[in-house]
Structure 1
Amino acid sequence: MKNVLWWIPRMLILGTLIFLIFGPLANLLLWSVAEKWFYPHLLPNDWGFAFWKRVFSPRGVAWEALGNSVLVAVFTVLASLSLAIPAGYALARLPLPARGLILLVFLIPQAFPNLTVYVNIARLFYQWGLNGTLLGVVLVHTVHGLVFAVWIASAAFSAVGREMEQAARSIGAGPWRAFIDITLPLAMPGLMASAIFVFLESLDEFTGSYFVGAPDVQMMPLLLYTAGAGGNYQIASITALVLLIPSVLFMLVVERFLKADVMARIGK
């Protein structure tokens, strides 16, 4: 009897967690194949893939939005890492007195509501002619992605022991050769994880895409917002699933790349 009483609350907690995690996902899956679904029916009245065909038809905007989202995410990763790798290496290796403060500066965009930040960025970009362009969207995504890129890159380089670099220098390798042949390959798993975080953050970024890109640059988060606001739950669910799939796959990869020693050094 005691064993039963011991298991009941734990099973209830486990069941609640499973419902909270997988319930919304199940709802998305049902709506994505529901051609008709009316209250009070618990399941769709009609099933089918008509809305999938509609979303990805040649005349639809999904292909354009998906292409733009992937293109922007790729260039955001390139821009973020081109800044984060030298910055992360400097923060990890150089004896900077204000290292913690410098890392904190990269968190400033996160310290304010996104709406406030992106409205002001959109105003500046409008003056510079960058509103409604892919370049403008890439730049605004890069501002957001640098938070992950610099912090994780700094931790990745900190996790690489100086001894390997010093050993390469002692046998005649220059600073650049030691960095390319020794430090960078050893830090690559952390940098790959940083790239994945930035890619996923860019892929799902709505606010910056809306204020800087809309209506000229179609993006998947904008398509999701438009469908949801219009009450078209089938298209909204399909779009959400398309955004969810790479997130799940890449997070599994990140779990492999981000080792405990790298995670322990983030922000230090």
Structure 2
Amino acid sequence: MKNSLRFYLQLAFTLLVCAFLIVPVVLSVLAGVTENFFVGLSSGFTLRWVAQVWDTYQMTIWRSVAIALACLAVTLVVGVPLAYMLARHQGGNSRLARVFEELLMMPVAVPGLATALALIMAYGQYRAFRGSLLFILVGHVLFTLPFMVRPVLAVMQSSQLAVLEEAAASLGAGIRQRFFGVVIPNAASGILAGALMVVTLSIGEFNITWMLHTPLTMTLPVGLADAYASMRLEVGSAYTLIFLLMIVPLLVAMQWATQTTRTRVRL
């Protein structure tokens, strides 16, 4: 009896927390497809707010997608070899490797506004660079690179790469063949998890982007804030709906990839 009561109390608390988190999102989505939010659902459903958002802010969506894909490419090229280097040197308990790994996590610990301000102070005098999407890309790479390195490093540390590489070397494989034929396939689940995380974080990143953007380089999250600040509530909510349609599938895929990575690490 006591265990049954505890179960129902826990279930009620869980449902209450879920409702607290989900209800505002549902209301925001409904506002984006309602003729008049203040009248309510009785005013009728419409997609004209979504169409208005697309007409006004579609370039911010394409910019966010372009930056996210470019950020993914950079973090793959830089992060995977970096994780490989850390995995190889951590096997020897290298103090330098541990220090470097901690420094790599600094952009996550430092507030995004502080990172953006540091970039502006360092490179703000280069006007062409300051007003380009490349400037925002640099901020996104600094922020997302640890999220690529961490899952890849975790899988590499659990895959006994040293043994596999030694076996491949004994068969005559060069360093390039070992990296692309042994390391990359064995770290594929970590690379996938890191890639999904990088794209999701880049598309949704606001703090760094808000400081670094210009009116010509506005991205999706900044456009969302602008829509809520300067237009009708229904327009901002329709923008939120588009944002969720982009982010939610990525979050589901990221959860699946992360679970796969954890299973691989346990095995």
Task: Indicate the residue corresponding to 1:221 in structure 2.
Answer: 221
Stretches of 4+ moved more than 6 A in 1?
Answer: 1-4
Kept after mapping to 1: 8 A contact 2:155/2:190? yes
Deviation at 1:3, TM superposition (A): 8.0
Greater RCO, CA 8 A, separation 6+: 2
Asked whether 1:105 is paired with 2:103, we answer yes
1:1-268 map, 5 Å? 5-6=5-6, 8-38=8-38, 43=41, 45-57=43-55, 60=56, 62-94=57-89, 95=92, 96-129=94-127, 130-162=129-161, 163-230=163-230, 232-258=232-258, 259-260=261-262
Kept after mapping to 1: 8 A contact 2:196/2:254? yes
The 2-side partners of 1:117 and 1:174 are apart by 40
The 2-side partners of 1:72 and 1:218 are apart by 11
What fraction of aligned residue pairs are identical, expressed as a percent?
23
Over residues 84-123 of structure 1, what are the superposed CA-to-partner deviations in whole Å (9 max), with x where a residue is unaligned? 1111000001233233221110121233322222122123
The alignment partner of 1:173 has SS state of: coil
Kept after mapping to 2: 8 A contact 1:69/1:220? yes
The 2-side partners of 1:101 and 1:79 are apart by 23
Deviation at 1:263, TM superposition (A): 6.1
The code of the aligned residue for 1:151 comes to R
The code of the aligned residue for 1:131 comes to R
The 2-side partners of 1:106 and 1:161 are apart by 24
The answer to which of 235-244 and 201-210 deviates more is 235-244
The 2-side partners of 1:97 and 1:177 are apart by 29
Higher helix share: 2
Structure-2 change in CA distance of 1:262 and 1:236 (3 Å) = farther
Kept after mapping to 1: 8 A contact 2:79/2:145? yes
Deviation at 1:11, TM superposition (A): 4.0
TM-score (normalizing by structure 2) = 0.87
The 2-side partners of 1:261 and 1:52 are apart by 40
The 2-side partners of 1:197 and 1:263 are apart by 18
The alignment partner of 1:34 has SS state of: coil
Deviation at 1:262, TM superposition (A): 5.7
Deviation at 1:235, TM superposition (A): 2.1
TM-score (normalizing by structure 1) = 0.87
The alignment partner of 1:47 has SS state of: coil
The 1-side partners of 2:2 and 2:212 are apart by 61
The code of the aligned residue for 1:214 comes to T
Kept after mapping to 2: 8 A contact 1:103/1:151? no
The 1-side partners of 2:237 and 2:40 are apart by 17
What is the number of equivalent residue pairs in this alignment? 260
Deviation at 1:236, TM superposition (A): 1.9
The alignment partner of 2:35 has SS state of: strand
Deviation at 1:25, TM superposition (A): 2.2
RMSD: 2.4
Kept after mapping to 2: 8 A contact 1:159/1:261? no
The 1-side partners of 2:121 and 2:85 are apart by 33
Query: Which ranges in structure 2 are unaligned for 5 or more consecutive residues?
Result: none
Kept after mapping to 1: 8 A contact 2:50/2:239? no
The 1-side partners of 2:130 and 2:148 are apart by 25
